[in-house]
Amino acid sequence: MKLRVEDIRWVLNNVDEVLDSDKDLRAIVDVNEMGIIGHSLGGAAAYELLKSEKGIKASILLDPSFHLMTTSKEEGVSVPLLVARQEKCSFEELENEISPDLLPLLLSGYASLFNSSALNSSFIKLNGAHHMTFSDIPIHYNEDGIEHKHSTINKYITAFLEEHLKKEESKCHELLKNKINDGIDQVNCIGHVI
């Protein structure tokens, strides 16, 4: 985890050098409105970085490794989060899927994240998704319906970033009003649909 956080921090510290390497990049990138996206361990690392990096304005955590995340109100992560989870995300859904040693850590990590998040954060699950749905792996195995699942999650990611980075008011929240048509459900602090 520490190595991944430091790698992300290195990228942030060197973003100006990359942008200066091509005049066209500087024209399309606003370093004052940056977001971060991470999946699995990358999601946990992205969250860890938010505790100390104040330049990031929004974060998307795709089924992050909740069991590795430490969260509390005192740590002061006030960045809006979009937390997208796989379909199975409550105790009842996961108790026969995940080892009994890991499950309580995962559930308590998620509950802590939920309860310590900014008011404008959203917690959703994508029906029919599993942990690797948020990666390219299902494409390589020609998983049925993966194009639709990727299209759906990309639509929510885009709306969230437009709302919080481009200041297009309520873009993601409006999308969430019709979430059922997309196979998206909002979930509470224990992973139940609300």
pLDDT digits (tens, 9 = 90+) for 43-73: 999 999 999 888 899 999 999 999 999 876 6
Domain limits, the chain: 31-186
Residue 116: CB partners within 8 Å, gap ≥ 6?
A: 71, 72, 73, 75, 77
- Closest listed residue to residue 186, CA positions, set 109, 95, 111, 84: 84
CB 49 within 8 A of CB 8: yes
Dihedral of CA atoms 191, 41, 175, 170 in degrees, nearest 10, equals 110
The pTM for the full model equals: 0.93
Superfamily name and number for 31-186: Alpha/Beta hydrolase fold, catalytic domain (3.40.50.1820)
Average pLDDT value for the chain: 92
178 band by pLDDT with thresholds 50, 70 and 90? confident
- Closest listed residue to residue 68, CA positions, set 100, 96, 46, 90: 46
pLDDT digits (tens, 9 = 90+) for 108-141: 999 999 998 888 899 999 999 999 999 999 999 9
24 band by pLDDT with thresholds 50, 70 and 90? confident
